[in-house]
Amino acid sequence: MPLRPGFRVLWVALLVCLFMMMPVAAPAQLPENEESQPEVWLLTYGPGEVYWQRFGHNAIWIVDHSGGLNHTFNFGFFDFTQQGFLKNFIFGRLNYFAAARPAKVELSEYVDADRSVRAQRINIDAARIGLLSDFLITEISDENREYLYDYYLHNCSTRVRDAIDLVLNGALKEEFDQSPASLNYRDHTRRLTQMDPIYYLGLQAGLGSPVDQPVSRWDEMFIPGVLADALTEAIDPYTGQPVVTQEVMLHVSSMESPPALPDVVWYRYLAGAVAILLIGVALSFIPRVTARQLATSWLLTGGFLGLVLAFLWLGTDHWVSALNLNLLLLNPLWLLVMFRALQKPLAWLVVVCGLVALAAPWYPPWQYNADVVALILPLNLLSSVLLLKSGSKLSE
C-alpha cells in the first residue's frame, strides 16, 4: 500500500537522521591553530605508478605561523628541460634541486595521485625547530638548491635524513650507522621494481656488484619508508624521549603496497628465453635463414649490450655499474662473431663465461644475477652449440 504524503515525508526524515548518525571515518587533520607552537613533521609518500616514483618520496613539513611557515621542504625535484639533462643522466651527473611549497598544495598533489601519505611529528623544541627552519631555508636558496644526485648515497631521502640528524646532534647516525641493514641496495631495488618486468630487468643487468654489498641501517635510509620506520625507534639525545610522538596516515593509497622482501621472479625471464627460442625456431623455416645466422645475430646483440655495460662501468660516474659480472653474459667480445674464423673459439669462450656466471652469487664479489642468467644464458649456450656444429660441418 503506498504511503500517505505525510508519512512519506516522515519516513524520509527518519532515513536522513539515521544516515547522519552513522559513524564516518573523517580524514586525519593536523593542527592548524595559528596560536599553536611550531611543529615539525616528516612526510613519507608511498610509491607511485611512474617508474621514478617506485621508491617513494619524503619531505619535511614545518608549521610555524609566527615565522610565516606552513611549507614542505622537498629535495626531489628535477627538470627534464634543463640544459644537458639527457647527457648528465647518461653519465651519472644529474642535478636535482630542493624547494619549499605550501603544504596544502603538495599534500593535495600526492593525495590526488593516490599515493599514501604518512605523517610523523618530530618532538623537538622551538629553538631546534628554528635551527632546522634556518637550515632548510638556506638549502633552498638559489645558490644552494641544486645538488649532485646519487640514487643510493645522496638522494631526496638522505637529504631529509641528514637534516633531521642535524637537529638531533648526530644521534640518528650514531644509533643506526653500526647496525646492519635488513636488505642491501639491490634487494630494495628488486622489491620496489619487480612489478615492472622490463624496467626491473634493465636495472638488474646494469647494476654491478657494489649494490650487493652489506650496508648499515643508516645507509638503508635512502628509502623513505625505511627512514620513517627508523625514526619510530630513535631517541632524542637532549630529552631521552622518543623522537616521534605522533603518527597519522593522512591518506591510504588504493595501490598495492610493495613487498617487504624481493620475490623470486627469475622463472618469468626463463619463460622469456623459451619464447625467444621458439621465435628462432620459427625463423629458421624461412628460406635462406640459417641456424648460424640466428646464433650470430643473438651474439651480436649481446655484444652491443655488453658495450653498454662496459661504458656504464668505465665511461660514466655510475659507481653502481662497476664490477658488473653480467659482462660474463653480455660482453663486447661477442662482437668478434662477425669474423667466421673466430666463431669456434668464441663459442667456447661464451660457454665458459656462462658457467662462471652461474656461480657469481657464491664467490666474491657475490653479485645476484639469477634473472639475467635465466634470460641470457640459455640463448648464449644454444648459440654456441649452433656455431660449433656449423664449424664442424665446414671442417668436414
Band (288; pLDDT cuts 50, 70, 90): confident
Chain center to CA of 71:
26
% of the chain exceeding 70 in pLDDT: 90
Q: Grid coordinates 605561523 are at which residue? A: 65
What is the per-residue pLDDT for 390? 78
Average pLDDT in the chain: 90
Residue 396 above 60 pLDDT? no
User: From the CB of residue 108, how many other CB atoms can be counted at a distance below 10 Å?
Assistant: 12
E strands, 128-239, where?
146-148
The Cα–Cα gap between 47 and 118 comes to 12
Write down the domain spans for the chain: 39-181+216-251, 266-395
What is the per-residue pLDDT for 23? 32
| Among the ranges given (23-27, 280-284, 384-388), the one the predictor scored with the smallest mean pLDDT | 23-27
User: From the CB of residue 82, how many other CB atoms can be counted at a distance below 10 Å?
Assistant: 13
User: What is the full DSSP assignment across 78-92?
Assistant: --TTSTTHHHHHHHT
What is the per-residue pLDDT for 17? 36
Query: Is the link from the previous residue into 378 a cis peptide, with omega within 30 of 0?
Result: no
Reported as a single tens digit per residue, the pLDDT across 204-234 is: 999 999 999 999 999 999 999 999 999 999 9
* Phi and psi angles of residue 39, each rounded to the nearest 5 degrees, phi first: -135, 150
Q: Grid coordinates 621458439 are at which residue? A: 278
Reported as a single tens digit per residue, the pLDDT across 252-275 is: 999 999 999 999 999 999 999 999
CATH number of 39-181+216-251: 3.90.1720
Reported as a single tens digit per residue, the pLDDT across 69-125 is: 999 999 999 988 888 999 999 999 999 999 999 999 999 999 999 999 999 999 999
Residue 25 above 70 pLDDT? no
The Cα–Cα gap between 41 and 122 comes to 6
